[in-house]
Structure 1
Amino acid sequence: MGVSGSGKSTIGSRLAKVLSTPFFDGDDFHPEANVTKMSNGIPLNDEDRYGWLQTLNKLAKEQLQKNSCVIVCSALKRSYRKILSEGIISNIKWVYLSGSFNQIKERINKRSNHFMSSELLQSQFDTLECPQDAIIIDISLSPEDIVEKIRNEIEVKSEFGLFGLGVIGKSLSRNLAQKGFNISIFNREVKGSEENVAIDFKNTHPELEKSQPFSNIEAFVNSLQTPRRIMLMVNAGKITDMVIDDLIPYLSNGDIIIDGGNSNYLKTKERYDYLKLKNINFIGVGVSGGEEGALKGPSIMPGGNKETYELVRPYLEGIAAKDANGLPCCTYVGEEGSGHFVKMVHNGIEYVEMQLLAEVYDIFKTKGKNPDDIANIFESWKSDVDSYLLGITIDILRKKDGNDWLLNKIVDKAGNKGTGNWTTIATAQLGAPSTLIASALFTRYTSFYKEERLYASENFGITHSELSLNSDDVLNAYQFARIMNHYQGLKLISEAGKAYNWTLNLSEIARIWTNGCIIKSDFVEELIPVLKEDDNILTNQSIISQLKALKPSINKVVVECVLSGLPVVCLSDSVNFLNAYTTSNSSANIIQAQRDYFGAHTYQRTDDPSGDFHHTDWN
């Protein structure tokens, strides 16, 4: 605002460009009668201005529904500014361009083709009531300096909101702030147990200095630019639905909710459809990397509407880890719940990778190696099979607690958070043979029966006989099983894409798994070009050659372990799967005959090329 000639249009248009927001010149909205009156040298009165001011107020309200804007107009009286602010007073920041009469008159006289002449300038100064609640700017400064001064003083709303300050939520908040994003952070308040969480968290980390902390949902939502981008980092399940319902009353059409938790992909589809009916966009995002990955750069797997993804892309790609070529380990995965599905399968692959390392550890332990010895063996393997999980396992093996290794003091009961269970259910529903994931999951379940295992150990008296395996035998078996694990996981993703009509790029999915996530490894990097050729890695001649070379070792390892009484569930499953997969004529024919016998399920005949189904009366 300011008198005519103060530079409102020049400054306003430049400021709007800097803020990436629409610009409107109030003069363009004067009715023809007002323009005619001023062109004839007649000052406007309050009645003339009333309809014009109402028009600008309506314009401001419309723009606030979309995002924000910069509007310039004289707004000389307090009463004028009251009309302009009607219903949106908390969303307005006034900027007053202040200059002397002579300074502004000189500027007006230099303007051409404008209906406001310098003769009317005195009437404007006579009408002017200087605002008390505005950013006041001296027009003697250069336009560049004026815009910069306004930009620094104006309270810009946050670009991105993060809801939930658990371990991962805190790390992601710091990551966003470190990348230069203006963020709002929210955490609930529970009197006596969870108080001032957001404020205390902000005050603990210097990078969060410009962030806005909240414990009130309405204030949190209102602190964000529109369309609002809110990432939920809360527990999957009912909590996620409760939070969404709490947010909805304060959201506007086109706002975006991003679920960054480990949600079930089918629930993600339901939430996507539910929020679509309310004109709110929903993105399901898988985030892998744990606390450290979330802070330094996770692998991010987003699924949902492609256009909606583009609105959150700068933020997700900005905080993601970088691959070997400097590209973000974040890509648009596909439609609806595909992002959470891919993250779920990622976790299933992770279950198997962890189980395989546990089985390998058990083999060496049975051979009399202590944790340091095993760590040294694993260290020597890194040139062949390096991975994040191998690296942390080496650290775990070397960790001492007093005079003993800490690992020896950890109870052998492995927990899970449900994603392995979901993956196993999904592979059964889709009819994909992800046997290793199921085996890894059920091995964890078995571990939880600690008391029964102790009793069974006494009753059965199984002792482990000596193993003649060497380190190379075990390494080769481990490599073999890892190839089968990745084949099965990727096959499951491929089958889901077909079943749900998702457009998935397995090579891109492998690429974003090369850094920032739990299953990052050299082998995943090798799969990127392989998957560009075919979604089925077992058609690749190089991988076929590797498996053929490694198979004698996996056979030897599994046979010796079984004979020794040592459980190697996933190592065994990997070779059994390939044996079944490569059998041209399997024993499934007798199963189908049995099905036809008791249930008349029919069968196809090898001597009938038509593929017709037959039934036999077997009695």
Structure 2
Amino acid sequence: MNRATAYREIIVVLGVSGSGKSTIGAMLAKHMQVPFDDADDFHPIVNKEKMAAGQPLNDEDRTPWLETLAYHIADRSRQGGGVLACSALKEKYRKALVRYCSSPVRWVHLDGSRELLEERLSDRQGHFFKPHLLDSQLDTLEPPTYGWRLDIKEKPEAIVSQIIELMKMEKADFGLVGLGVMGKSLVLNLASRGIAVSAYNKPRTGEERVAKEFAAAHADRDNLQVYDDLPQFLESLHSPKKIMLMVSAGPAVDAVLDELIPQLEPGDIVIDGGNSHYYDTKRRVNFLREHGIHFVGCGVSGGEEGALKGPSIMPGGNLDAYSAIAKYLEAIAATDKNGRACCTYIGEEGSGHFVKMVHNGIEYAEMQLIAEAYLLLRERAAMTIEEIAALFSEWNQGELQSYLLEISAELLPFKEGDDYLVDLIYDAAQQKGTGGWSTTAALDVGVPFSTVSESVMARHLSALKPLRVIAAAKYGRVCVPDDVDRTSLVESLRHAYASARVVNHAIGFEMIRRTSDQYAWQINLSELARIWTNGCIIRSGLMEDLVSAFEKFPDTHLLLIDTYVELLKAKRQGLSSTVAKGIEAGLSLPVFSASVNYLNGFTAEQSSANIIQAQRDYFGAHTYRRKDKSLDQIFHTDWTKHS
């Protein structure tokens, strides 16, 4: 690779007059084989005459000069980079210089003693800048807190060599593609941990200035480079390259990979941090392996705030690839109560995205449970929003503590004028697909997934708002007695909520266990619960308890562990009573209902499935087995010949 393509950034050599920025800049540009510009050459004649007359420039004088330079730097950026010598004394001048620039900008501050500066200026002949103006420049100077500061007492050749060595060392350790909400937050998280990071956002229609504006907003971070040119982005990374994709799941991931693969080398690692389907991840793992490139499907949970401050991270794929990126992912992850990163290797293939998908399914059901509890309290117990918020806040202080309950208590009393905002929100819930995917996956594996599937269907039903309005008018409300014992109802609901949460988590974790067995992923449920104790949306006190429960009983269904058997035996009646009262009042409680139905079915020694098997055999000769015979034996009956 020649130097013309190795160096693409803009370098600004700054300092007061006499610091040698023109000399150093010209030598550096020659070494890099890029154009050199001296900002003094861009001063309008009126500025030069003013300085020649011994008068310092003010901000009004500098404004048109800085604007001209900003456009020129942007041109150099598009043409492949360059070096500019410019005083750039104030922070606002530096921001003005790079406002239109699409390439990363490196700042080299040449600094030295007043005595040396004065000596150099007195030796300079024929320059329009007068030596006595040095005081005004030193008074104006706001030294940058970023970039490289070099002492001018060294010879120019030595200073240039220092800059070149610093540039070699400054390649980024980690790259990220996609500056959406989560991508921006993760980039800033990485940079805040002292990791040298490069970010790239494709300048597609509607996103032409995303990279430029993000770069300008964080120009003070000297370990962060931002690009809207893919080759420049890739050139900025150390090899083997470690690149995280934060783009929409589906075709967008494949489109980025199509662009990346021809420019990557064997041993490079691509991490998909979006909500991709685990089947797609498995396919991509195999496809990139053919090119010698590692692919890691990585679930990330925590939303915008979590991505910025510390999410829960679920990487799956090749173990060696994870080992190479572990220090970066663990550095940006949330930490558990013992200070360990909420990030762990999940397993091979698409296991990381699979557990994130199930995480989201559990999340769907937990959100629906809170919504149903709110509905019951408001409609049946006639509680005000303020009272419900206070109750949720009280629950959140004890065994029911969770992030979702916490935010629900906080959002309920939020007002817009005299109205509660929740009352103004259109009641049609949206979803991104992961809940539906997890339901489909449960069908594929043959695992009951009722709480999650019902929460997904509840969102679909909510979307039928126009039809619901018509139906409500036609059917009217269910007539129920007005004599409600609020205290009793609230206590039953608390027990119901505690029970349903355990059932929902049991369903989710059992789905993970069964799928892990099917694909030989060897997922550690205790370790998975641990990384879900902080950073992610479903963090809770219950999740904290599940860490030790699965550590002690790794192969046991959660509802068969004594702690939860006792809990459900004590609170089960509250769950049944709550569902009965809600249904009687004409309220839709799909996840509470699914919880009690799952629990009743799970704890029933004799189910009604014998009737199903008889029916199947009657109309389709599908056969059946018998309780009074060996289960290895298969039977069929001609039911029409019953005597």
TM-score between both structures, scaled by the size of structure 2:
0.73
Deviation per CA, 1:262-289, whole angstroms, max 9, x where unpaired?
A: 0000000000001111111100000000
Aligned to 2:407: 392
Report the equivalent of 2:262.
249
Aligned to 2:535: 516
Q: Which amino acid counterpart does residue 222 of structure 2 have in structure 1?
A: E
Q: Give the number of equivalent residue pairs.
A: 486
1:587-602 equivalences in 2 (<5 Å): 587-602=608-623
How big is the shift at 1:354? 0.2
Structure 2: how far apart are the matches of 1:151 and 1:199? 27
Q: Which residue of 2 aligns with 1:266?
A: 279
Please tell me whether residue 304 in structure 1 is matched to residue 317 in structure 2. Answer: yes
Q: Report if aligned partners of 1:174, 1:207 keep a CA contact under 8 Å in 2.
A: no
**Correspondence 1:484 to 2:503:** yes
The Cα offsets for residues 32-77 of structure 1, whole Å up to 9 and x where unpaired, read as xxxxxxxxxxxxxxxxxxxxxxxxx9xxxxxxxxxxxxxxxxxxxx
How far, CA to CA, are the matches of 2:196 and 2:442 in structure 1?
A: 41
Q: How far did 1:206 drift?
A: 5.6
1:495 corresponding residue in structure 2: 514
Equivalent residue runs for 1:15-414 within 5 Å: 152=166, 154-190=168-204, 193-205=206-218, 208-366=221-379, 367-382=381-396, 383-414=398-429
Do the aligned residues in 2 keep the contact of 1:464 with 1:566 (CA within 8 Å)? no
Deviation per residue, 1:80-135 (Å, 9 max, x gap): x99xxxxxxx9xxxxxxxxxxxxxxxxxxxxxxxxxxxxxxxxxxxxxxxxxxxx9
- Displacement of 1:462 in angstroms is 2.3
Per-residue CA distance 1:308-342 (angstroms, 9 max, x = gap):
10011011001000000000000000010000000
Q: Which residue of 1 aligns with 2:452?
A: 437
Distance change in 2, residues 1:426/1:616 (3 Å): same
Q: Is the 8 A contact 1:178 1:207 kept in 2?
A: no
Query: What amino acid is aligned across from residue 485 of structure 1 in structure 2?
Result: N
In the alignment, structure 1 residue 417 sits paired with structure 2 residue 413: no
Q: Write out per-residue CA displacement over residues 126-164 of structure 1, whole angstroms, 9 at most, x where no aligned residue.
A: xxxxxxxxx999999xxxx99999864644211100000
Q: Does 1:562 align with 2:583?
A: yes
**Structure 1 residue 606 corresponds to structure 2 residue 634:** no
Q: Distance in 1 between matches of 2:530 and 2:200?
A: 32
Contact 1:202-1:208 at 8 Å conserved across structures? no
Is the contact between residue 348 and residue 489 of structure 1 (CA under 8 Å) also seen in structure 2? yes
Moved more, 176-185 or 604-613: 604-613
Aligned-partner Cα distance in 1 for 2:254–2:498 = 42
Instruction: Give me the TM-score of the superposition, normalised by structure 1.
Output: 0.75
Give the C-alpha shift of residue 542 in structure 1: 1.1
Amino acid aligned to 2:184: K
Paired residue secondary structure (1:514): coil
SS at structure 2 position matched to 1:287: strand
Q: Output the CA distance in 2 between the equivalents of 1:610 and 1:238.
A: 47
8 A Cα contact 1:387 1:522, kept in partner: yes
Tell me which moved more, 346-355 or 529-538.
529-538
Give the corresponding residue for 1:21: none
Aligned residues of 2:178 and 2:246 also touching (Cα < 8 A): yes
Q: Which residue of 1 aligns with 2:594?
A: 573
Aligned to 1:16: none
Q: CA offsets per residue over residues 152-194 of structure 1, 9 Å max, x none?
A: 4644211100000000000000000000010110001136x32
Q: For residue 459 of structure 1, report the CA deviation from its aligned partner.
A: 1.1
How far apart, CA to CA, are the structure 2 residues paired with 1:552 and 1:206? 60
Q: How far 1:498 sits from its partner (Å)?
A: 1.1
Contact preservation (8 Å) 2:200, 2:228: yes
Contact 1:203 1:209 in 2 (8 A): no
Q: Indicate whether 1:473 and 2:486 are aligned.
A: no
Given that 2:274 and 2:298 are in contact with CA atoms closer than 8 Å, whether structure 1 keeps it comes out as yes
Contact in 1 for aligned 2:173/2:196 (Cα 8 Å): yes
The answer to whether the Cα contact below 8 Å between 1:386 and 1:522 also exists between their aligned partners in 2 is yes
The aligned amino acid for 1:511 is: R
The 2-side partners of 1:221 and 1:398 are apart by 48
Matched with 2:546 is 527
CA distance in structure 2 between the aligned counterparts of 1:525 and 1:147, rounded to whole angstroms: 54
Rounded Cα–Cα distance in structure 2 between residues aligned with 1:217 and 1:149: 25
Determine the C-alpha separation between the residues in 2 that align with 1:207 and 1:486: 44
Percent identity, aligned pairs only, is 45
For the residues of structure 2 that align with 1:548 and 1:146, how far apart are their CA atoms? Answer: 76
- What is the aligned-residue RMSD (CA, Å)? 2.5
What does residue 539 of structure 1 align with?
A: 560
Residue aligning to 2:116 = none
| Deviations 1:238-296, CA, capped at 9 Å, x for gaps | 01000000111110011111000000000000000011111111000000000000000
CA separation of 1:323/1:601 partners in 2, compared to 1, >3 Å: closer, same or farther? same
Equivalent residue letter for 2:476:
G
Tell me which moved more, 456-465 or 335-344.
456-465
Q: Which residue matches 2:469?
A: 454
Cα deviations by residue, 1:554-580 (Å, 9 ceiling, x for unpaired): 111111111111111111110111110
Q: 1:464 to 1:291 in 2, by over 3 A?
A: farther
Change (3 A) 1:201 1:274: same
* Deviation readout 1:340-381 (Å, 9 max, x if unpaired): 000000000000000000000001111221211100011111
Q: Secondary structure at the match of 1:552?
A: helix
Question: Separation in 2 of the partners of 1:236 and 1:273?
Answer: 18
Q: Quick check: 318-327 or 564-573, which moved more?
A: 564-573
Shift of 1:209: 3.2
For 2:595 and 2:423, the matched residues in 1 are separated by 28
The DSSP-based 3-state class of the residue aligned with 1:614 is coil
Amino acid at match of 1:598: F
AA partner of residue 198 (structure 1):
A
**Distance (whole Å) between structure 1 residues aligned to residue 574 and residue 357 of structure 2:** 31
Change (3 A) 1:207 1:368: farther
**C-alpha spacing 1:147/1:214, structure 2 compared with 1 (3 Å):** closer
Look up the equivalent residue of 2:547 and give its one-letter code. I
Q: Is the 8 A contact 2:399 2:542 kept in 1?
A: no
Pairwise CA distance, 1:593: 0.8
SS in 2 for 1:184: strand
1:202–1:209: 8 Å Cα contact kept in structure 2? no
Aligned partners of 1:179 and 1:318 also within 8 Å: yes
Alpha-carbon distance between aligned partners in 2 of 1:407 and 1:419, rounded to the nearest angstrom = 25
Q: Which runs of 5+ in 1 are unaligned?
A: 1-56, 58-80, 83-89, 91-134
SS at match of 1:609: coil
| More displaced stretch, 493-502 vs 170-179 | 493-502
CA separation of 1:464/1:402 partners in 2, compared to 1, >3 Å: closer, same or farther?
A: farther
Paired amino acid for 2:343: C
Quote the Cα distance in structure 1 between the aligned partners of 2:602 and 2:152.
Answer: 76
- One-letter amino acid of the counterpart of residue 268, structure 1: T
Residue type at the aligned position of 1:378: F
Residues in 2 aligned to 1:542 and 1:147: alpha-carbon distance in whole angstroms: 67
